[in-house]
Amino acid sequence: MNKKVLAIAIATIMILGLFTALTPTVQAADDQRTCILYGASPFCVFLHPGVEDSYKPGWSHTLDTLWGNQSTPVPGEPDTNPQTRQVFDKYLDYSILASASDSVGDLQFDFTIPPVVGANTYIDIYVPPEFTWLAPTREESIWTDVTNDYQYIWTSTRSSYDPIAPNWVRVRIGRDQWFGQHGVVLIPGTTYHVRLFDLKAPSVAGLYHFKIYVSGVSIGAGNYPFVIVKNELNPAWVQVTVRTHAYAVAGWPFAFSSGSVLAEGTTPEGRAVSAIGYWGPMEWIGDSVVPGELGAMYRLYLFGLAEGTYTLKAEASGFNPTVTERFSVYAGQ
């Protein structure tokens, strides 16, 4: 059976802004700020570059913000959830330029420790493989006030078969790399910081999130912070609806699929540009609207596209890829 994935791109208007560096000037972290827990998350994590998130005190946005977890999107209608709108209205305040512009800078993670966390623990930050580490060694790129003993600060590139983050770089802080013992004491109510220096931004625009684990336990995907990469100062963004020709979800809750949409295009000046987005169960918006056809629909967003003409290529495991007709986006739309 020839299964297909259909992707339909709809360009919409966004608020404009300008930003050129990987690291903006941001307010110093407030060690006294309130930590709001979502679900079973043991930590609150905020990422610089970032902007104030009124739904989760601190800087940056998390995947929960993008997902608009306070409302359910209606298939075929714009997502008006105010939490989700923050991403579109503010992302130019903290987005970073793709590495074609030699965008190099720092990322800082702030960890607020709630009382429910035990004293002895360790922190894992998984950095997407699209970021390039420019220091002679990765350890030289890391600073933290969790510990000043580099026996408890180490990195590794995960295997391509790693079930959590294949090919990602794991930064582990607080565990002895030789004997595997916990080596730090984290004080509840305190905000700690981890700074990664001299990272080169990805060359492909889009949204990149960072996976955070505490003593081997995920803080929950909705709490993962993210940063957006753009191809130019005044980019566009595209809303994409993906429709599968199988795996309707109604009555079959474990039949979700996941995949990616790659935008490849050319600017009016002839520069090749690209952006990528991913979908999974949290992007599901309903079953197929085509009468009599089994299928599911997913919504995702491609951020940071330069003005130009593009095609979209949708891919998912178990389906043949589908490529759209060419379409144009314009600066700031």
Q: Rounded to an integer, what distance in angstroms lies between the CA atom of residue 60 and that of residue 29?
A: 12
Instruction: Write the CB contacts of 136 (distance below 8 Å, at least 6 apart in sequence).
Output: none
**Which of the 8 DSSP states describes residue 85?**
H
The residue assigned the tokens 């169960």 is: 281
Residue 315: the pLDDT is 95
Confidence of residue 309 (pLDDT cuts 50, 70, 90): very high
d(CA 295, CA 278): 18
Residue 191 has what pLDDT? 82
Distance CA 235, CA 216 (A): 38
Q: Give the N- to C-terminal CA distance of the chain in Å, as an integer.
A: 38
Q: Hey, where are the domains in the chain?
A: 5-15+234-329, 44-230
Domain 44-230, what architecture? Answer: Sandwich (2.60)
93-104: per-residue pLDDT in tens? 788 999 877 899
**Which of the following CATH numbers is that of domain 5-15+234-329: 2.60.220, 2.60.40, 3.10.20, 1.10.12?**
2.60.40
Residue 108: closest CA among 28, 215, 222:
28
Per-residue pLDDT, 319: 86
Res. 327: pLDDT tops 70: yes
Q: Which residues contact 252 (CB under 8 A, 6 or more apart)?
A: none
Q: Is 2 exposed, middle or buried (0-12, 13-18, 19+ CB in 10 A)?
A: exposed
Equal fold, 5-15+234-329 vs 44-230 = yes
Number of residues in the chain: 333
Model pLDDT, residue 285 = 86
CA 85 – CA 59 distance, rounded (Å):
16
Q: What is residue 83's predicted lDDT score, i.e. its pLDDT?
A: 62
